Amino acid sequence: QVQLVESGGRLVQAGGSLRLSCAASGRTFSSYAMGWFRQAPGKEREFVATVDWSSAITYYADSVKGRFTISRDNAKNTVFLQMNSLKPEDTAVYYCAARMDYVAATNSYEYSYWGQGTQVTVSS
């Protein structure tokens, strides 16, 4: 069983930055690929970013590429999402997710555990 707790979401102006954190329980965090997804009001949940177990491989949605950076600290059982140059269309609930595999993945159905989400609101 893996428990995930996100934090760091808040209201920010367009052009600003935020850093989301996701703390994971469990002693085998380093063997999971991790991902960030988001869901805006009235829209389906969408992929944002993913990182493999070793931080060697990362993938990003085209909409955030060059602005967002995913990273992880296996010693602290934590994954991060650094978000720069935020836009109003980035407004959503952001979820972190754990995949029971070393390899990064972009589809939500490949993830077994999910956090409760943290709200990010970008004002124009």
pLDDT tens-digit map of 59-113? 999 999 999 999 999 999 999 999 999 999 999 999 999 999 999 999 999 999 9
Tokens 């955030």 label which residue?
64
Confidence category of residue 28, pLDDT binned at 50, 70, 90 = confident
Q: Exposed, middle or buried by CB within 10 Å (0-12, 13-18, 19+), for 120?
A: buried
User: What torsion do the CA atoms of 72, 46, 3, 9 make, to the nearest 10 degrees?
Assistant: 70
On whether the CB atoms of residues 83 and 67 are closer than 8 A, the answer is: yes
pLDDT surpasses 90 at 38:
yes
Query: What pLDDT sits at residue 34?
Result: 98
pLDDT tens track for 8-19: 999 999 999 999
Give pLDDT, residue 1: 84
